[in-house]
Amino acid sequence: MADMLNERSQQILEAIIEEHIATAQPVGSRAITTRLPTRLSPATVRNVMADLEEQGFLCSPHTSAGRIPTELGYRFYVDTLLQVVRLGQQQQDRIQAEYHWQGLQMSELLHTASKTLSSASSYTGLVMMPRLQKTIFRHIEFVKLSSRQILAVFVTQSGLVQNKLIELDEELTASDLEQISNYLNQEMAGLSIKEMQNRLLAEMAKEKALYDHLLQRALRLSEAALDTDSDGDIIIEGTSCFLEQPEFGDLERMKRVFRAFERKSVLFALLDRGLQNEGVQILIGSETEYSEIAGCSLITAAYSGKRGTLGTLGIIGPSRMPYSKVIPIVGYTASLVSRLLDQESD
Amino acid sequence: MADMLNERSQQILEAIIEEHIATAQPVGSRAITTRLPTRLSPATVRNVMADLEEQGFLCSPHTSAGRIPTELGYRFYVDTLLQVVRLGQQQQDRIQAEYHWQGLQMSELLHTASKTLSSASSYTGLVMMPRLQKTIFRHIEFVKLSSRQILAVFVTQSGLVQNKLIELDEELTASDLEQISNYLNQEMAGLSIKEMQNRLLAEMAKEKALYDHLLQRALRLSEAALDTDSDGDIIIEGTSCFLEQPEFGDLERMKRVFRAFERKSVLFALLDRGLQNEGVQILIGSETEYSEIAGCSLITAAYSGKRGTLGTLGIIGPSRMPYSKVIPIVGYTASLVSRLLDQESD
DNA sequence: CGTTAGCACTCAGACCCTCAGAGTGCTAAC
DNA sequence: GTTAGCACTCTGAGGGTCTGAGTGCTAACG
Cα-based distances in Å from A204 to A186, A221, A227, B135, B306:
17, 12, 16, 40, 39
User: Does strand C come within 7 Å of the CB of A214?
Assistant: no
Sign of CA dihedral B345, B131, A128, A340: negative
Measure the CA dihedral B108/B110/B112/B113, to 10°.
170
> Which residues from chain B sit within 8 angstroms of residue A104, using beta carbons?
165
Contact B238 A138 (CB under 8 A): no
CA–CA distance, B98 with B116 (Å, rounded to integer): 7
CA–CA distance, A179 with A295 (Å, rounded to integer): 56
Burial B192-207 (b: 16+ CB within 10 A, else e): bbeebbeebeebbeee
As a rounded value in angstroms, the CA-to-C1' distance for A319 and D9 is 29
Looking at residue A104, its pLDDT comes to 61
pLDDT at A91 over 80: yes
pLDDT at B225 over 50: yes
**Lowest-confidence pick of A30-39, A124-133, A162-171, B177-186:** A162-171
For chain B, give the mean pLDDT.
88
List the end-to-end C-alpha distance of chain B, in Å, as a whole number: 47
Contact A141 B143 (CB under 8 A): yes
CB atoms closer than 10 angstroms to residue A2: 9
Cα-based distances in Å from B241 to A35, B235, B263, B289:
44, 15, 18, 22
Give the confidence band of A322 by pLDDT, cuts at 50, 70, 90: very high
Provide the 3-class DSSP secondary structure of residue A318.
strand
Which residue, A158, A220, A201, A185, is CA-closest to A346? A158
Give chain B as a 3 state SS string. Answer: CHHHCCHHHHHHHHHHHHHHHHHCCCECHHHHHCCCCCCCCHHHHHHHHHHHHHCCCEECCCCCCCEEECHHHHHHHHHHHCCCCCCCHHHHHHHHHHCCCCCCCHHHHHHHHHHHHHHHHCCEEEEECCCHHHCEEEEEEEEEEECCEEEEEEEECCCCEEEEEEECCCCCCHHHHHHHHHHHHHHHCCCEHHHHHHHHHHHHHHCCCCCCHHHHHHHHHHHHHHCCCCCCCEEEECCCHHHHCHHHCCHHHHHHHHHHHHHCHHHHHHHHHCCCCCCEEEEEHHHHCCHHHCCEEEEEEEEEECCEEEEEEEEEEECCCCHHHHHHHHHHHHHHHHHHHHHHCC
* B2-81: CATH number: 1.10.10.10
B208 compared with B2, residue with greater pLDDT: B208
CA–CA distance, B140 with B179 (Å, rounded to integer): 12
Cβ contact A12:A45 at 8 Å: yes
Q: What is the mean pLDDT of residues A217-242?
A: 82
A:56-85 residues touching chain B, CB 8 A cutoff: none
| β partners of residue A163 | A153
pLDDT at A19 over 80: yes
| β partners of residue B27 | B67
A203 compared with B30, residue with greater pLDDT: B30
Looking at residue B228, its pLDDT comes to 67
Who among B103, B145, B230 is closest to A139 (CB)? B145
pLDDT at A230 over 70: no
pLDDT at A341 over 90: no
Q: Is B155 on the interface with A (CB under 8 A)?
A: yes
Tell me which DSSP letter residue A103 carries: S
Cβ contact A297:A274 at 8 Å: no
Q: Give kind and range of the element (H or E) at residue A257.
A: helix A251-263
Who among B138, B155, B167 is closest to A103 (CB)? B167
Report the gap between the CA of B15 and the closest CA in chain A (Å).
Answer: 31
pLDDT per position as a tens digit, B287-305? 999 999 999 999 999 998 8
CA–CA distance, A311 with A94 (Å, rounded to integer): 24
Looking at residue B143, its pLDDT comes to 84
Contacts of B289 (CB under 8 A, 6+ apart): none
> Which residues from chain B sit within 8 angstroms of residue A255, using beta carbons?
240, 243-244
CA–CA distance, A185 with A189 (Å, rounded to integer): 6
Looking at residue B101, its pLDDT comes to 60
CA–CA distance, B115 with B313 (Å, rounded to integer): 11
Measure the CA dihedral A215/A217/A222/A225, to 10°.
-170
Looking at residue B66, its pLDDT comes to 93
Nearest-CA residue relative to C1' of C3: B44
Who among A155, A230, A240 is closest to B262 (CB)? A240
- Give the start-to-end residue ranges of the domains of chain B: 2-81, 89-131+232-344, 133-226
Q: What is the mean pLDDT of residues B260-266?
A: 93
Looking at residue B56, its pLDDT comes to 95
**Lowest-confidence pick of A291-295, B84-88, B173-177, B206-210:** B206-210
**Lowest-confidence pick of A275-279, A291-295, B307-311:** B307-311
Q: Mark residues 14-43 of chain A whose C-beta is closer than 7 A to nucleic acid strand C.
A: 26-31, 42-43
Cα-based distances in Å from A232 to A29, A127, A156, A336:
47, 10, 15, 21
Looking at residue B346, its pLDDT comes to 46
CA–CA distance, A247 with A184 (Å, rounded to integer): 54
Contacts of B324 (CB under 8 A, 6+ apart): B82, B83, B84, B85
Q: What percent of chain B has pLDDT over 90?
A: 55
CB atoms closer than 10 angstroms to residue A85: 10
User: Does strand C come within 7 Å of the CB of A46?
Assistant: yes
| β partners of residue B67 | B27
Measure the CA dihedral B282/B288/B294/B298, to 10°.
-30
User: Does strand D come within 7 Å of the CB of A38?
Assistant: no
Looking at residue A68, its pLDDT comes to 97
Put residue A159 in one of left, alpha, beta given phi > 0 → left and psi -120 to 50 → alpha.
left
Q: What is the mean pLDDT of residues B132-141?
A: 84
pLDDT at B236 over 60: yes
Q: Is A225 on the interface with B (CB under 8 A)?
A: no
Which residue, B236, B244, B21, is CA-closest to B122? B244
Cβ contact A285:A308 at 8 Å: no
Cβ contact B166:B145 at 8 Å: no
Strand D nucleotides in reach of protein CB atoms, 7 A cut-off: 2-5, 8-11, 20-26
Contact B255 A244 (CB under 8 A): yes
pLDDT per position as a tens digit, A166-216? 878 778 888 888 888 888 899 888 888 888 888 888 887 776 655 567 777
As a rounded value in angstroms, the CA-to-C1' distance for B298 and C6 is 45
- Cβ neighbourhood burial of B85 (10 Å; 0-12, 13-18, 19+): exposed
A105 compared with A254, residue with greater pLDDT: A254
Looking at residue A149, its pLDDT comes to 80
Looking at residue A298, its pLDDT comes to 98
pLDDT at A73 over 70: yes
CA nearest to A118 within chain B: B262
Contact A145 B139 (CB under 8 A): yes
Contacts of A256 (CB under 8 A, 6+ apart): A292, A293, A294
User: Does strand D come within 7 Å of the CB of B46?
Assistant: yes
User: Does strand D come within 7 Å of the CB of A39?
Assistant: yes
pLDDT at B207 over 70: no
B:21-50 residues touching chain A, CB 8 A cutoff: none
Q: Is B93 on the interface with A (CB under 8 A)?
A: no
| β partners of residue A314 | A126, A300
Q: What is the mean pLDDT of residues B199-206?
A: 80
Who among B153, B255, B346 is closest to A243 (CB)? B255
CB atoms closer than 10 angstroms to residue A203: 16
Strand C nucleotides in reach of protein CB atoms, 7 A cut-off: 3-6, 9-12, 21-27
Q: Which of A136-140, A152-156, A236-240, B185-189 tops mean pLDDT? A: A236-240
Dihedral pair phi/psi, residue A189, rounded to 5°: -55, 135
Cβ contact B70:B56 at 8 Å: yes
Give the confidence band of B103 by pLDDT, cuts at 50, 70, 90: low
pLDDT per position as a tens digit, B38-66? 889 999 999 999 999 999 999 999 999 99
CA nearest to B155 within chain A: A145
CA-derived radius of gyration, chain B: 26
CA–CA distance, A147 with A346 (Å, rounded to integer): 36
As a rounded value in angstroms, the CA-to-C1' distance for B65 and D17 is 21
Q: Is A243 on the interface with B (CB under 8 A)?
A: yes
Q: Which fold has domain B133-226?
A: Enolase-like; domain 1 (3.30.390)
Q: Is A167 on the interface with B (CB under 8 A)?
A: yes
Nucleotide nearest to A65 (CA to C1'): C23
Burial B265-290 (b: 16+ CB within 10 A, else e): ebbbebbbbbbeeeebbbbbbeebeb
pLDDT at A332 over 50: yes
A89-131+232-344 domain in CATH 3.30.450.40?
A: yes
CB atoms closer than 10 angstroms to residue A118: 24
Residue pairs spanning A and B at CB distance below 8 A:
89
Cβ contact B316:B131 at 8 Å: no
pLDDT at B235 over 80: yes
Q: What is the mean pLDDT of residues B119-128?
A: 97
Looking at residue A315, its pLDDT comes to 98
From the DSSP assignment, how many helices (H) and strands (E) are in chain A?
13, 10
Contact A249 B249 (CB under 8 A): no
> Which residues from chain B sit within 8 angstroms of residue A262, using beta carbons?
237-240
Sign of CA dihedral A303, A307, A308, A310: negative
User: Does strand D come within 7 Å of the CB of B42?
Assistant: yes
For chain A, give the mean pLDDT.
88
Nucleotide nearest to A67 (CA to C1'): C23
Q: What percent of chain A has pLDDT over 70?
A: 94
Cβ contact B142:B221 at 8 Å: yes
As a rounded value in angstroms, the CA-to-C1' distance for A2 and D18 is 59
A174 compared with A4, residue with greater pLDDT: A174
> Which residues from chain B sit within 8 angstroms of residue A141, using beta carbons?
141, 143, 153
Tell me which DSSP letter residue A130 carries: P
